[in-house]
Amino acid sequence: METFLKYLKVEAIGGHIIRISLACLLLFGGFTKLKLIGALEYNLFWSIILAAIETFAAFGLIIHYKKPVIGIAAGVLAILSIFLRVVFSIGWVRDHILHSQSFLDAFGAILGVYNNGLFHIALLFGAGIYCLGNSYKAYIKERITKPWPH
């Protein structure tokens, strides 16, 4: 039984690491912050919207420990942010590398050349889904353990 409990602690620690790492990536490693500073050939309004989504997602992932409902919303925003990053990357390859009009050609180029990046994108999606599910589990646990209303 002691060994089993140790594995549960390791899983909990790993979950905290995943949540904090995803929050840090969204808060400090987001490409939109760099776009706001330098590459202004993109629409500034959409850059600010993407930066806001990433920032709210990062803070919501941390606030999950106090309010799981906010963690659920942050998980959805994190997954949306990662999806928008993928779309931006495909568009960037299309415009700056291939100089074509086809998203499918750009996606094929990313699959063929940048498969290591796709692995990281899959890890990010997995982390976002994990955080969303973990927040939902905490919300359900909170609802079940609350006193019954009179």
Q: Which two tokens stand for residue 135?
A: 């927040």
Residue 132: predicted pLDDT: 93
Q: Which two tokens stand for residue 49?
A: 């919207």
Q: How confident is the model at residue 39 (pLDDT cuts 50, 70, 90)?
A: low
The crossing angle, in degrees rounded to 10, of helices 115-145 and 2-28 is: 120
Give the tens place of pLDDT for each residue, 24-33: 988 887 655 6
- Give me the amino acid identity at 97: I
Rounded to two decimals, the pTM is: 0.79
Contacts of 48 (CB under 8 A, 6+ apart): 36
- Give me the amino acid identity at 51: A
Query: How many other CB atoms sit within 10 Å of the CB of residue 14?
Result: 11
Checking if the pLDDT of 3 tops 80, the result is no
Roughly how many angstroms between the first and final C-alpha of the chain, as a whole number?
A: 39
Query: How many other CB atoms sit within 10 Å of the CB of residue 81?
Result: 25
Contacts of 135 (CB under 8 A, 6+ apart): 64, 68, 69, 71, 72, 74, 75
The CA-CA-CA angle for residues 63, 69, 71, to 5°, reads 40
Give the tens place of pLDDT for each residue, 53-95: 889 999 999 998 899 999 999 999 999 988 987 887 788 778 8
